[in-house]
Structure 1
Amino acid sequence: MTQTSAAAAERELAEPYLRQVLDTAGLAVEYVRAEGNTLYVRDDDGAEFPVADFAGGYGSVLLGHHHPEITAYARQLLAEHTPIHAQFSRHPYANRLAAELNRIIARELAEDEPYYAIFGNSGAEAVEAAVKHAELDRGMRVAELLGSVDAGLAAARAAVADGSATVHGEAAARLGVALAADGNEAVRLLEAAIRRHNDETAASPPLFLALEGGFHGKLAGSVQLTHNEGYRLPFKSLAAQARFVPHDSPEDLNAVYARERRVLLGLTAEEGRITVTEHAFPVFCAFLVEPIQGEGGIRVLSRAFAREIQEFCARIDCPVVVDEIQSGMGRTGALLASSRIGLRGDYYTLAKTLGGGIAKASVMLVREKRYRRDFEIVHSSTFAKDSFSSHIALKVLELLERDGGAAYRRAEERGAALRAKLDALRAEFPDVVADVRGHGLMQGLEFHDQSEASSPELRQIAASGLFGYFLAGHLLRRHRVRTFPTASAVGTLRFEPSIYVTDAELGQLYAGLHDVCTLLRKQAGDELTAAGR
């Protein structure tokens, strides 16, 4: 190695600021091996020691790290030289994957309308595909609506020309134009005013609806649908804008719609008079919803509000995009967490566990009545729909469905065992633990705010925005437990282990959290912050 390359190797060039943050919180460790629900770290002597993984790849390893069947199958696929780069050709394995997803979804929804699949590599990419498809669909609906309005204008002109209808003052006043004496000139003026209004309305950018606390990715489009302002506002000018509504607040939904509602205008001949008509314009491109907000603090969408959203979107003809990237793929005891609360999506996005912890795979599903086939031409992804990731995803579904869905049942059972530990902590430390939330193997423990703590160390980390990361650092250093806070609610620790998490590991987590709660109650901030020293 040359002197220059040696110096370069020592310098941190791969996200150095993030490395500093991890160092500060005591989380900058290198994991050298992974299996099951365990990651391994080497100590100073080079010996491995295990860490119980409750972060679970942010929900990516429901079936554990390097599941033996998935790993063996991956080796087989590579040994057989499966064609990873065979774009723009037949992909029967991807079609089988789409069919199997449809079979399971039809069972959970008790409906048989098919969903067409667009594959990708990451959850954010699946969200981007859903947003793009929804906008393509909205644009086509706008074009159809404008065509219908044009037909009405032509019919109104014809009715005036043949004398079967006349223009009266109320129509002119409605549009703010002077009433011409000549009927043909009058209808021409009305039409010109209508076209000006409609051109302006049709050119307006789409709006999206999303819930406060939601997280849908950090790409140029998806980041605008993510509620956290720290992620969103620096890039506000790059993409379409969202209107965020609070949970369990149908009145806010209606208020947003009333505020943003727009119409196209038209003309019709009724009972010998030319009348101005209104046609609802599709302002909102889509409503994005997580059944359980992963980065927003593990907040569960209520069944009642899910129904309100469904009915609201049906009323204004706004498609529902159900983001199941963290909550889906069996983590809550069903392929779709949304199916448990009666929410039916026009679109679904799935990723993370879809790749079995090995492949980079995601999918956007869109129901048949919304599907636009032209999307397949205007959208593509180099690494999507390949043989390797499709076959791995099929193996994942096989494992989830095996033995009558034993994996789903295990997710519920292990989730209940995890919840019992968290509930016990809340009961013992109500002054420290604010809430326990989640379902199945997607749980969150929220701590009370420490910004006014008696401990100066606790006040400092509460003000830094890294509170949960310091708690996670303590758990890692003292208890060999790996977890993280949720990204947009750093006072909430997340727990998304695999279905193979053991009672011993749950006990290990409980002991670590009990220690954290004890230190917070004692206001021993110096011990909690020692992880970063």
Structure 2
Amino acid sequence: MTHTDTAAAGPEVTEPELAEPHLRAVLGTAGLAVEYVRAQDNTLFRLDEDGTEIPVVDFAGGYGSVLLGHNRPEIVERATELLASGTPVHAQFSRHPYANRLAAELNRIVHRELGTGEPYFAIFANTGAEAVEAAIKHAEMDRGMRLAALREELAEHTASARAAVAAGTATVTAQALGRAGLDAAAAGGDFEALAAELERHNAEQFARPPLFLSLEGGFHGKLAASVQLTHNEGYRAPFKALAAQARFVPRERPDALKEIYAEERRTVRDVRVVDGRVEVTEREFPAFCAFLVEPIQGEGGIHVLSPEFAAEIQRFCESVDCPVVVDEIQSGMGRTGALLSSSQVGLRGDYYTLAKTLGGGIAKTSVMLVREARYRKEFEIVHSSTFAKDSFSCHIALKVLELLEADGGAAYRRAAERGEALRRMLTSVAEDFPGVVKEVRGRGLMLGMEFHDQSGSASPALRDAAAGGLFGYVLAGHLLHRHNVRTFPTASALNTLRFEPSLLLTDAEIAQLEGGLRDVCAIMRDEAGERLANGPAR
């Protein structure tokens, strides 16, 4: 397989296709394998056959990475200053005051939105998936240290009871043996038999792997651990043996939490001396390592977590001492009108993960925040990342926060206002095509439009696209080539198109998208798949 590139001032060059050629071919079938040569504000530019720039309105927005716009002038200026000044990108294992300033500024905003003063410690990374990996690693380290403390406490209690029995100040009762699952008569009241059985039972619990909880439809990355917390089985199945497993909780089903707790609850057996008798009690075992939640599911179809279900998750996790990891990688950083989208539904996390817009569309950076009550300082020694916490990305992230917070948070307000304008348009289209559009969902500048299944369409083109799993991509290709609009379906819900533009979105750009959506809706209504564009890849 080869690919032809034409340089600005040089001969045509044919190169072997080695950079993910299969993916490029798949994109080509939907007309999406185009090359963009420039980006500005809410627009990407590609070239037509004679080399003329074609502006394309970008509603994909780097999967939520460019809330402030492509190549935002203030961010480009800051990046230029940093590079020109020789800012140290590689100064690992040294003092990083700019990272501390960034952590402090994030804390200031988080405290304002959550109404708390509890510090959140920051662990920096490069991508959202890495931030999730850091969060689940930290949660397991915390659980492991709690397990070690529990194991030590159980051992101390056993030693104390053993000494009391040996001294004749305590006796082993039939009730204690029965609670341990032993035959009182056969054991003859022997403490060592009791201790051995308790050790056997407890050892089984301590040997169990951590259990993670995640919502159905959730997406938390594709790295070795994070992919197992992503609901899409197509992403998980090839790597199932590599990492921790998860239980997936149905959305908006509080009763499911009770069912899962009943099925997964584990206890250890403790022994204490009370009034001269050895007694066996059950204690809760920390089986649940973490519960990962997206306030708005990005790849799962733009489903918004309700305040009611958020409250149920909070109550459940507090009752079983399970930390909540709030994945704000797509929904956070101002996209819904607040730094933390979760704050708008009343969900408070023990961990937060932020990325994408944190880098202003230029720097590749992310952060995992851990509240003080959960933080383990030992994690700083066993976890690191080569490019994390560098001067360039931290200063860019500080500029991003400065822009978001300027003029009393005008950027947050604009994101909410532009999002409402976009939603009104999407709702209008949905109302005019009720047999085509199933639902409009989302908040702020993170919206989705779900279409009814087209697998039964009389149009072979629509039917085949639906059956082949390319339906949303085919619609995206049509919007690109006929309407110069760029968007994609959500990765795990291909009947849903995503709209995550920048806050620079104009009324004219909304109208341009509306024209495209009305066109594709009419094609589906008329079952006229032959009208779909299948533009040439370039």
Q: Which of the five TM-score ranges fits, normalised by the shorter chain?
A: over 0.9
Partner of 1:471: 475
Name which of 335, 340, 349 aligns with 2:339.
335
Deviations along 1:408-460, whole A, 9 cap, x unmatched?
00000100100011000011000000000000000000000001111121111
SS where residue 237 of structure 1 aligns? coil
Partner of 2:64: 59
Partner of 2:492: 488
Gaps of 5+ in 2: 1-10
Deviations along 1:376-417, whole A, 9 cap, x unmatched?
000000000000000000000000000000000000010010
Cα distance in structure 1, aligned partners of 2:258 and 2:157 = 30
Partner of 1:369: 373
Cα distance in structure 2, aligned partners of 1:8 and 1:86 = 39
Name which of 157, 165, 169 aligns with 2:162.
157
Match status 1:289 vs 2:293: yes
Q: Output aligned runs, 1:501-520, within 5 Å.
A: 501-520=505-524
Name which of 150, 171, 177 aligns with 1:172.
177
SS where residue 266 of structure 1 aligns? strand
Partner of 2:39: 34
Change (3 A) 1:191 1:31: same
Quick one: which amino acid aligns to residue 174 of structure 2? G
Cα distance in structure 1, aligned partners of 2:150 and 2:136 = 21
Name which of 50, 61, 74 aligns with 1:69.
74
Name which of 220, 226, 230 aligns with 2:224.
220
Partner of 1:139: 144
Q: 139-148 vs 298-307, which deviates more?
A: 139-148
Deviations along 1:216-262, whole A, 9 cap, x unmatched?
00000000000000001111100000000111111111111110111
Name which of 348, 351, 354 aligns with 1:347.
351
Q: 415-424 vs 174-183, which deviates more?
A: 174-183
Cα distance in structure 2, aligned partners of 1:438 and 1:182 = 63
Name which of 444, 450, 454 aligns with 2:448.
444
Deviations along 1:200-224, whole A, 9 cap, x unmatched?
2101100100000000000000000
Deviations along 1:82-130, whole A, 9 cap, x unmatched?
0000000000000000000000000000100010000000000000000
Residues 457, 529 of structure 1: 8 Å contact kept: no
Identity in percent: 69
Change (3 A) 1:182 1:479: closer
Match status 1:79 vs 2:84: yes
Match status 1:299 vs 2:303: yes
Change (3 A) 1:500 1:162: same
Cα distance in structure 2, aligned partners of 1:368 and 1:530 = 54
Q: Output aligned runs, 1:257-276, within 5 Å.
A: 257-276=261-280
Displacement after TM superposition at 1:179 (Å): 4.0
Residues 24, 532 of structure 1: 8 Å contact kept: no
Point out the structure with the larger helix share: 1
Residues 58, 486 of structure 2: 8 Å contact kept: yes
Cα distance in structure 2, aligned partners of 1:101 and 1:175 = 50
Q: Output aligned runs, 1:380-459, within 5 Å.
A: 380-459=384-463
Match status 1:200 vs 2:204: yes
Residues 180, 269 of structure 2: 8 Å contact kept: no
Cα distance in structure 2, aligned partners of 1:423 and 1:111 = 37
Q: 261-270 vs 320-329, which deviates more?
A: 261-270
Displacement after TM superposition at 1:182 (Å): 9.4
Quick one: which amino acid aligns to residue 158 of structure 1? A
Deviations along 1:177-213, whole A, 9 cap, x unmatched?
3447998x71111111111111121011001000000
The alignment's C-alpha RMSD in Å is 1.5
Name which of 10, 24, 36 aligns with 1:19.
24
Cα distance in structure 1, aligned partners of 2:95 and 2:181 = 58
Cα distance in structure 1, aligned partners of 2:435 and 2:400 = 42
Quick one: which amino acid aligns to residue 239 of structure 2? F
TM-score (norm 1): 0.97
Partner of 2:502: 498
Displacement after TM superposition at 1:281 (Å): 0.7
Cα distance in structure 1, aligned partners of 2:128 and 2:508 = 32
Quick one: which amino acid aligns to residue 14 of structure 1? A
Q: 163-172 vs 99-108, which deviates more?
A: 163-172
Partner of 2:4: none
Cα distance in structure 2, aligned partners of 1:404 and 1:491 = 38
SS where residue 306 of structure 1 aligns? helix
TM-score (norm 2): 0.96
Quick one: which amino acid aligns to residue 247 of structure 2? R
Q: 189-198 vs 367-376, which deviates more?
A: 189-198
Q: 450-459 vs 306-315, which deviates more?
A: 450-459
Residues 481, 533 of structure 2: 8 Å contact kept: no
Residues 302, 498 of structure 2: 8 Å contact kept: yes
Residues 187, 193 of structure 2: 8 Å contact kept: no
Deviations along 1:350-388, whole A, 9 cap, x unmatched?
000000000000000000000000000000000000000
Displacement after TM superposition at 1:271 (Å): 2.6
Partner of 1:113: 118
Quick one: which amino acid aligns to residue 509 of structure 2? E
Displacement after TM superposition at 1:43 (Å): 0.5
Deviations along 1:32-56, whole A, 9 cap, x unmatched?
0000000000110011110000000
Name which of 70, 84, 98 aligns with 2:103.
98
SS where residue 416 of structure 2 aligns? helix
SS where residue 19 of structure 2 aligns? coil
Partner of 1:254: 258
Residues 465, 471 of structure 2: 8 Å contact kept: yes
SS where residue 445 of structure 1 aligns? strand
Quick one: which amino acid aligns to residue 160 of structure 1? V
Quick one: which amino acid aligns to residue 217 of structure 1? G
SS where residue 534 of structure 2 aligns? helix
Quick one: which amino acid aligns to residue 188 of structure 1? E
Partner of 1:244: 248
Cα distance in structure 2, aligned partners of 1:129 and 1:477 = 40
Match status 1:47 vs 2:52: yes
Quick one: which amino acid aligns to residue 192 of structure 2? R
Quick one: which amino acid aligns to residue 245 of structure 2? Q
Cα distance in structure 2, aligned partners of 1:485 and 1:154 = 61
